[in-house]
Amino acid sequence: MLSILHELNDRLKVALGQAFPAAAAAAEAEGSALDAQLGPASKPEFGDFQANGALALAKRLGMQPRVIATALVEKLEAAAGFSDLCERPQIAGPGFINLTIKPERLAAEVASRLQDPRLGVSSAAEESEAQGRGLAPVIVDFSSPNIAKEMHVGHLRSTIIGDSLARVLEFRGYQVLRLNHVGDWGTQFGMLITHLKQVAPEALSTADAVDLGDLVAFYRQAKQRFDSDEAFQSTAREEVVRLQGGDPVSLKAWHLLCAQSRREFQQLYDRLDISLNERGESFYNPLLAAVVADLEASGLLVSDGGAQCVFLEESSAHKLPPVIVQKSDGGFNYATTDLAAIRYRFAAPPAGDAARRVIYVTDAGQASHFAGVFQVARRAGWIPADGRLEHVPFGLVQGEDGKKLKTRSGDTVRLKDLLDEAVERSEADLRRRLQEEQRSESEEFIQQVANTVGLAAVKYADLSQNRITNYQFSFARMLALQGNTAPYLLYALVRIAGIARKGGDAGVIGDAGNTGDAGNTRDSNQITGLFSKLQFHEPQEWALVRHLLGFDAVIAEVEEELLPNRLCSYLFELSQVFNRFYDQVPVLKAPPEARNSRLALCRLTADTLKLGLGLLGIPTLERM
């Protein structure tokens, strides 16, 4: 109900100015304004919104809060059109103003959303255009696997959290650049190429001469040799120099290794329906020298033991170590590459992306690294005054024993294996349920449902957690048909689809702005006529109406706070509110006028669930 909130807030500002003109003028002269502190009501019995500003204004105005609230309410009630928006305001306690929106206005909002493919969510692009300014790109940096390594469960959170945030921002109308900052450069390639020259030289000249699993094993062997054999370490470093110098043999080997890994990564991204633009560490390699020169020119660079560093300003929490920009041997490291990336992403074209918000989705263990790198970038002047640089940290994926999720042999769980098992378990659950219900379904139906539910369960189980904390991975919990799970939400949608089929033409009111089921489309005059007759009387109806109208506020929260679990919680609560409504209020057997209005609520619930799940990267089903 953000549009109503904004309308109410504007009315309250005017009323404050009328009730206390001298104080309002003084506040304006100071560059501020009197604030009614309007927000959602803390409890349903207090109405829809509460204005709590009277308490904060008491000292400034030299009046009792209740006197301020009374004066404010008088001006509100005298304003033209206010009685069409709100019931009579109620003053509670020392000066809280409780505001309840008129039923007619709420019904009109429902009707409006039934015809709106955005379900009431405003477009940032349109808002920006209306204000006569452009909308700068937003960058979401996520996933970031390493070449010559398989994606494992540790990549799961970054990949699906980053994708869901990108989807929400794209839906809001931003141009989002989804960047995959893959580890495709540096010492690791010197190690691997040196080792492969000795044990599998064909891998350096022939595409796919060894599979990725073998390549991973070779990488582990190379790392062991690098850590224990000084001669091998020296040779590997020389190989890095040749690679960075553009040696054609080394470059060919590098290209082959990168191409093989990319194909494996893409199979997983396709399976998870995730799109990314790769821009790995190698992209920024030509820009590293300019980073050092920039920092030196700004006076931030300090030589320490031969290394070029930037010493950080101490934070209130803890002392941060210096950021090493160039090692004593002249080489660069991750921090240098990340600084080059920040510099490029905020720079104007053609030397950059011209972004104004850059979001990094990585594990919480990198928080100190990014705190240091971000501070250096700000002090260097690379972040515009209106630029936002944000780290989105997340915790570990743990086993049910509370320890880091591992295979029985102690290895890190491969992402491919985890997804395979989720689908296999989903299929087994589905076949068991079909047998119990004595239902006969095609093999194609079984495979589609098992794949959709299995992958949805994995995604939703992760996204529904507060990303900042660790969470315990449990197939049993995530595949359950009860509780805050993907299957529960998908089943709610399937239930509504069944209601719409039984409801016939009256039950089909578009699909988030599109036409309804085949054979049940209706022209705009029919739709408008149906919407104009929406009437709600039962408490369960109004509870569902109000929850549905909260969708735009939740999207705004996710956009600002970058917490997908807020959207998950909203959708889960919506399903619960809908189920109570459907269980306690007749829909298909209701009188005609009530029936159409209730079927409209069913349809808007379905549209909201579909759109919300889509923003989480989760497809939906008509049957399961």
Spatial contact of 218 and 196, defined as CB atoms under 8 Å apart: yes
Which CA distances in Å does 75 have to 47, 79, 577? Answer: 20, 6, 36
Element (H, E) at 329: none
Residue 543 shares a structural domain with residue 591? yes
pLDDT band at 317 (very low <50, low <70, confident <90, very high): low
Q: What is the pLDDT of residues 212-236, one digit of tens each?
A: 677 888 888 999 999 999 999 999 9
Same domain, 322 and 361: yes
Distance, CA of 136 to CA of 406 (rounded, Å): 42
* Range from 285-289, 398-402, 619-623 carrying the lowest mean pLDDT: 398-402
What is the pTM assigned to this prediction? Answer: 0.92
Residue 350: the pLDDT is 93
Q: 529 to each of 16, 369, 523, 526, how far by Cα in Å? A: 39, 59, 10, 5
Q: Give kind and range of the element (H or E) at residue 359.
A: strand 357-363
pLDDT (tens digit, 9 = 90+) per residue, 146-204?
Answer: 988 889 888 999 999 999 999 999 999 999 999 999 999 888 889 999 999 988 888 88
The position carrying tokens 């491919």 is 416
Both tokens of 566, joined, read 């807020």
In a domain, 592, yes or no: yes
Residue pLDDT, tens place only, 415-436: 999 999 999 999 999 999 999 9
The pLDDT tens digits for 561-574 are 999 999 999 999 99
Do 513 and 551 share a domain, yes or no?
yes
Q: Are residues 285 and 265 in the same domain?
A: no
Identify whether residues 286 and 264 lie together within a single domain: no
- What is the number of domains present in the chain? 5
H or E element in which residue 99 lies = strand 96-99
**Full domain range(s) for residue 51:** 2-101
Do 289 and 389 fall within a single domain? yes
Separation CA 382–CA 365 (nearest Å): 25
Q: Do 511 and 434 belong to one domain?
A: no
Q: For the domain that residue 566 is a member of, what is the CATH number?
A: 1.10.730.10
- 50 pLDDT band, cuts 50/70/90, is very high
Q: Which of 139, 123, 141, 143 is nearest to 131 (CA)?
A: 123
Q: Are residues 523 and 600 in the same domain?
A: yes
Q: List the CATH number of the domain containing 25.
A: 3.30.1360.70
Domain boundary among 101, 129, 162: 101
CA 285, distance to chain mean position in Å, is 30
Q: Are residues 526 and 600 in the same domain?
A: yes
User: Do residues 464 and 567 make contact, with C-beta atoms less than 8 angstroms apart?
Assistant: no
Would residue 332 count as lying in a domain?
Answer: yes
Q: Do 34 and 68 contact (CB within 8 A), yes or no? A: no
